[in-house]
Amino acid sequence: MTTRNVEDYLEVIWDLQDEKGYIKAKDIAYKLEVTRPSVSEMIRKLSENGYIVYEKYGGIIFTGKGKKLAQEIKKRHTLLVEFLKIIGVDEQNAQQDACKLEHDISPKTINCLLEFVEFINLLPESFKWRENFKKYLEERGLLHKERKK
């Protein structure tokens, strides 16, 4: 059984809010592949720590503090996806791997990656640079094609 941390939960709760407009424990359990009791326990923990407000029949809503952290997590995720795509990873793998990377590498390394992405984006020839690198990978058979769904 996988255990998930606070950040994984906040990220999924944020996504559900975004996708569905409401958050149900059952959907959280499904997305994180954890048991319902694990979800209940984490909801209690998140609520005790002031990240969310939980009403038994009213659902889950973010507090200001929870919203701020969730947004930071999402920002990190988006930038990691972008970094992985810059180095030739396809969208689907980039999405999956970003979620693994974001919690397991040190904050210092994450910051370096994020600065790198910002730097690349600020280059005057950013687009060309990316295209050239793609060509380079392609010539070596290293460019991953999108997987068929």
Residues of this chain that bind Mn ion (CB under 5 A): 77, 99
Beta carbon nearer to Mn ion, 47 or 95: 95
Cα–Cα separations (whole angstroms), residue 115 to 23, 75, 109, 122: 33, 13, 10, 10
Give min distance, CB of 44 to Mn ion, in A: 23
Give min distance, CB of 81 to Mn ion, in A: 8
Beta carbon nearer to Mn ion, 34 or 99: 99
Give min distance, CB of 74 to Mn ion, in A: 8
Beta carbon nearer to Mn ion, 99 or 113: 99
Cβ–Cβ under 8 Å, residues 60 and 51: no
